[in-house]
Amino acid sequence: MLLKELRARAPAMLRGRRADRKGFEARNFKRWRKAFDLLEMIMAIAYEASDAFARHFHAEADADDDTVFQALVAIHARCLLVASEVLCLMGGGYADGAIARWRTLYELNVVALFIRDHGPIIAARYLVHADVQAAKAARAWNAAAKAGDFEPHDPAAIAMLESRAVEIKAIFGDEMENQYGWASPALNGAKKPNFRQIEDGVDMGHWRGVYQWACAHNHGGHHPSEDLLGQSERDHPLLLAGASNSGMTSPLALVAASLTHVTSTLLFTRLNLDRLVAARVLMKLSQEIGPVARKAEAKSLAKFHKSLSVALG
């Protein structure tokens, strides 16, 4: 009876919730518009420059089996996708979710630098590593399928994945079974390389503190609600369980910096004047975004406090 009543009331309730969300998103966009516009400009330039680059060199790279080109173009496309996801999260009022997704963008940036520095063998290993991991993932899925009450993979499909994984490990080594095993030859043959080693290998260790801070949003350890970006302007304690229009400055600046860096990494593999100019424009816009976001934050906060003072007499 309760469920029947809830179903009857749901359409009106959902319309109200969606109207509230639409209003919030409009106000959130108005507050951060100048910074959001800068990030979208960066994303558009990064897309256009990388698309022109990939189209121009695609045939040549295929003919030469240029694995570095293939890997970097694929990584850059993922970076653009992640940046779009971050923008969507920020538009919805989820600064902490945006930081969590920036973590992936940062990892891709580091991996792109590592592949650029270590050349075609490492790039080839990176590209086929996904097939080995697919076999592992399929095995794990089937092992959990019964307990989780979901459909297992077909045994014939599993056998094909396993066969491909065996073939790859016969060529590149059993370390390909490990998460970062593709990087092993460039890390003194380490059987189980980790991300920190890759990060250090491209001199990005100075980003580790920021990266670890972003990682905290992805895991199940206790994370005090008052430490969330979405609570950065709170005036009293609360448990944040939804959207907030606070805390966008850090994700905006970090995404802009990482997307600029990974785009430059790609373009500089075949540098010319046009690509240098595109990279410099991206860098200039990236440097602007933090100050613009902080100014928007301070301006709207000051306006709020002024209106509150007037209301309180």
Write down the pLDDT at residue 47: 98
Lowest mean pLDDT among 12-26, 81-95, 286-300: 286-300
Write down the pLDDT at residue 178: 94
Mean pLDDT for 270-298 is: 95
Write down the pTM of the prediction.
0.91
Residue 306 banded pLDDT, cuts 50, 70, 90: low
Write down the pLDDT at residue 307: 54
Taking alpha carbons only, the member of 79, 91, 103 closest to residue 218 is 103
Write down the pLDDT at residue 312: 55
Q: Is the pLDDT of residue 256 over 90?
A: yes
Extract the tokens encoding 186.
């460039």
CA 204, 195, 158, 142 torsion: positive or negative?
Answer: negative
CA 218, 213, 202, 264 torsion: positive or negative?
Answer: positive
Write down the pLDDT at residue 308: 45
Extract the tokens encoding 244.
């907030």
Please give the full DSSP string across 16-78, using - where no structure is assigned. HHHHHHHHHHHHHHHHHHHHHHHHHHHHHHHHHHHHHHHHHHHHHHHHTT-HHHHHHHHHHHH
Confirm if 181 and 129 have CB atoms less than 8 A apart.
yes
Residue 302 banded pLDDT, cuts 50, 70, 90: low
| Residue given tokens 């400009």 in the structure block | 41
Q: Pick the more confident residue, 6 or 313.
A: 6
What is the percent of the chain with per-residue pLDDT over 70, rounded to a whole number?
96
Q: Is the pLDDT of residue 274 over 50?
A: yes
